[in-house]
Amino acid sequence: MNENKTNINWFPGHMAKTKRQLLEQASLVDIVYEVIDSRMPISSRVEEMNDIIKDKPKIIIATKYDLCDKSVTDKILENEDHVIKINLQKDDIYGIISATNELMEDINNKRLEKGLNKRSARVMVIGIPNVGKSTLINRLVGKKVAGVGNKPGVTKNINWIRVNKDIELLDSPGVLWPKFEDQNRALILASFLSIKEEILNSDQIACFILKKIFELYPEKLKERYGLDSLDEDFIEAYETIGKKRGALSKGGSVDYDRVSNIIIRDLNNGYFGDITLDR
Ligand SMILES: Nc1nc2c(ncn2[C@@H]2O[C@H](COP(=O)(O)OP(=O)(O)OP(=O)(O)O)[C@@H](O)[C@H]2O)c(=O)[nH]1
Ligand SMILES: [Mg+2]
């Protein structure tokens, strides 16, 4: 692994600035939506969440529920308090709205007790890259929102957009780099494109995907690529997949780079079927 590249993840000034901004933004909201990916309901969690939001209520929005292994993901999330599992591309967002209203009612009751007026819920979205933050914001607002898609560390203004008469939303999400002390978590995150190839190369990621699927869902590997087993150095597997998928270089030999990309794409397009990589 290239050391310069590995450092991108831990650019301390950048990290500190992002976190400071997030702390500021979080101090303005009543409720936080923590967006996680249902296919990695442990690995995609925001580690510093409690530092950032203190004791504010939070709703976990587990996106891409359509692509995950439901029984595994349900089990992992069963002890969490407010969880909405959702396919953001199809499902209605009513569950998110009603969970928000419910939490806000408590907050407003406390305000009333203190002699303050009731007011709209102010919420913000926080999550690691590629979990569906922008999609969620667009769904809530009902149209494409300009501030959406900002990269971490970019200074932006605080803009509130109205979701409905009871809810206001911060227009840009808080993005945090995931932490990964262990290689397994880094590879799961990379498999689902939440950390980019700056940190791990596509061969490493693709071989990890093959290994994981063989371990957890061997029948899916057989179905997709006709593989019953995995050889230790993945060469036979790459040869089989490359030939099957026509990933050949000009000379007719298997193009390993292309095979790696096929494997990563197949996973992310849901072509192996429903998969959850965390246990
Ligand atoms: N199948 C499926 N795809 C989803 C779902 N939610 C989001 N996506 C897709 O996931 C990809 C990433 O979604 P984004 O909304 O761009 O994610 P993000 O968190 O804003 O990503 P960054 O801005 O890169 O941090 C897009 O291709 C979405 O269409 C879902 O519930 N199901
Ligand atoms: Mg985005």
Tens-digit pLDDT profile for residues 221-266: 999 999 999 999 999 999 999 999 999 999 999 999 999 999 999 9
Please state the domain count of the chain: 2
13: number of Cβ within 10 Å: 8
Alpha-carbon dihedral sign for residues 159, 90, 49, 199:
negative
* 213 within some domain: yes
In contact, 169 and 124? CB cutoff 8 Å:
yes
Q: Please check whether residues 209 and 171 belong to one and the same domain.
A: no
Q: Which residues neighbour 46 within 8 Å (Cβ) at sequence distance 6 or greater?
A: 34, 36, 52, 126, 127, 128, 176, 178
> For residue 128, which ligand has an atom nearest its CA?
1
Mean pLDDT of all residues in 59-77: 98
In contact, 272 and 218? CB cutoff 8 Å:
no
In contact, 96 and 159? CB cutoff 8 Å:
no
| Cα gap 269→53, rounded to integer Å | 33
Give pTM, 2 decimals: 0.93
* 228 within some domain: yes
Q: Please check whether residues 130 and 206 belong to one and the same domain.
A: no
* 273 within some domain: no
Q: Please check whether residues 263 and 131 belong to one and the same domain.
A: no
* 103 within some domain: yes
Q: Please check whether residues 118 and 44 belong to one and the same domain.
A: yes
> For residue 63, which ligand has an atom nearest its CA?
1
Structural domain boundaries enclosing 255? 201-268
Q: Please check whether residues 161 and 218 belong to one and the same domain.
A: no
Q: Please check whether residues 154 and 250 belong to one and the same domain.
A: no
Q: Does ligand 1 have an atom closer than 6 angstroms to the CB of 100?
A: no
Q: Give the pLDDT band of residue 11 (cuts 50, 70, 90).
A: low
* 23 within some domain: yes
In contact, 135 and 184? CB cutoff 8 Å:
no
Q: Does ligand 1 have an atom closer than 6 angstroms to the CB of 194?
A: no
188: number of Cβ within 10 Å: 27
Q: Does ligand 1 have an atom closer than 6 angstroms to the CB of 89?
A: yes
End-to-end C-alpha distance for the chain, whole angstroms: 27
